[in-house]
Amino acid sequence: MPAPGDNPGLDAETQAPIIIGISVAFLLAAAVTVLLRLYTRCILVRTYGFDDLLISFALVSIFLPVRLSHPPRSCLTHLYFNA
């Protein structure tokens, strides 16, 4: 296997744009589905239940960046060097 940088043409062949495009498409499809459900339940039927509250929190949590496994370096330096 060639090392990175040996073949620029091979380095340009990456799957990242495809993966990002598919992820964004499914994210938008999920958001539209949840928003249509909430519109139907709140506006048309006028019944908002606990399950709708949970799905609302789930939709919001998708868009929040959460970095629990790899905290920022400044957080680690604060914990270890300023204690």
Domain boundaries, the chain: 16-65
- How does DSSP classify residue 4? T
How far is it, in rounded angstroms, from Cα 46 to Cα 40?
8
pLDDT range class, residue 83, cuts 50, 70, 90:
very low
d(CA 67, CA 72): 8
The 10s digit of each residue's pLDDT in 43-67 is 999 888 999 999 999 988 887 765 5
Task: Return the closest-CA partner of residue 38 out of 64, 24, 46, 28.
Answer: 46
Residue 13 in this model has a pLDDT that exceeds 90: no
> What token pair was written down for 46?
């006028």
Residue 27 tokens, joined: 């994210």
For residues 35 and 20, what is the distance between their CA atoms, to the nearest angstrom? Answer: 22
